[in-house]
Copies of this chain bind each other. A is one copy, B any other.
């Protein structure tokens, strides 16, 4: 790791990317993102070291956190600068009281959809999100994907960016460990998966097949829509649909919970758990 550099002014240009982070979303700009908290920092270090398409550009810490973070900081190459500041300065930079005191600026490299799909193993479970606009749900979906060893998460262009600070935090850093890509239209994504031998299963409260009864296949994709409206009818009609049996008294499960149950069920069916 690099020797820590003390920052004593909130206006120091070296840490300008961390300014007012609550108000801004860096992800739209040059594929930069903010990693927050010890767990996410550790995941970023691993992703950086494993060259999983993410790299750290700089780290900004509360001065008194440095000692406790040694083992994490050592995983970053010395070329990644580590800036430290007192609470007053740090809070002035970010624009609110930063309780955790651990931030990093990361960069994502987009290798393209074909590269991601071509790299999938022969036996694969993939999660596809369409129109997931809620950062909590996006983050939870990645956490579930990691828990049940999904090989990739694909998000259509109408989904929010999972590298957005809050989604990344809710995912407990899984956005940095599960291969993923966001972009393109849902139908094109699903056709590309079908062409590669994936059995496509859309999830809907009105799906035709009980999620526990879907047949095992070497390659399976689970497709999730937004919590309110669900998946567009055109997609539901074109591909096989599954449902999680539940009380008809309630609208439906929370999107993140439904994703977790469906992934658990499909991973069980595939004999992966």
Give the B-binding residues of A (Cβ under 8 A): 39, 140, 143-144, 146-149, 172, 174, 177, 212, 244-247, 249-254, 256-258, 260-261, 264, 268, 273
Select one of B147, B249, B254 contacting A253, CB under 8 A.
B147
Given A147-B253, A257-B257, A261-B264, 9 more A-B residue pairs with CB atoms under 8 Å apart are: A140-B254, A144-B254, A147-B247, A147-B250, A148-B246, A149-B246, A245-B273, A257-B260, A260-B261
Q: How far is the CB of A50 from chain B (nearest CB, A)?
A: 13
Contacts of A254 in B (CB 8 A): 140, 143-144, 256, 260
In the complex, residue of chain B having the shortest beta-carbon distance to the beta carbon of A272: B245
Q: How far is the CB of A57 from chain B (nearest CB, A)?
A: 25
Contacts A212-B268, A261-B261 known; A253 to B144 CB distance under 8 Å? yes
Contacts A147-B246, A148-B246 known; A260 to B268 CB distance under 8 Å? no
Q: Is B257 within 8 A of A244, CB to CB?
A: no
Q: Which 4 A-B pairs have the closest CB atoms?
A: A257-B260, A245-B273, A147-B246, A149-B247
Report how far A74 CA is from B251 CA in the complex, Å. Answer: 22
Q: Is B251 within 8 A of A172, CB to CB?
A: yes
Contacts A244-B264, A245-B273, A264-B244 known; A146 to B257 CB distance under 8 Å? no
Report how far A251 CA is from B170 CA in the complex, Å. Answer: 13
Q: Is A257 within 8 A of B172, CB to CB?
A: no
Report how far A256 CA is from B257 CA in the complex, Å. Answer: 7
Q: How far is the CB of A169 from chain B (nearest CB, A)?
A: 12
Contacts of A268 in B (CB 8 A): 212
Question: Would you give 13 A-B contacts (Cβ < 8 Å), ordered by A?
Answer: A140-B254, A143-B250, A143-B253, A144-B254, A144-B257, A148-B246, A172-B250, A244-B264, A246-B273, A254-B260, A256-B256, A258-B260, A261-B261
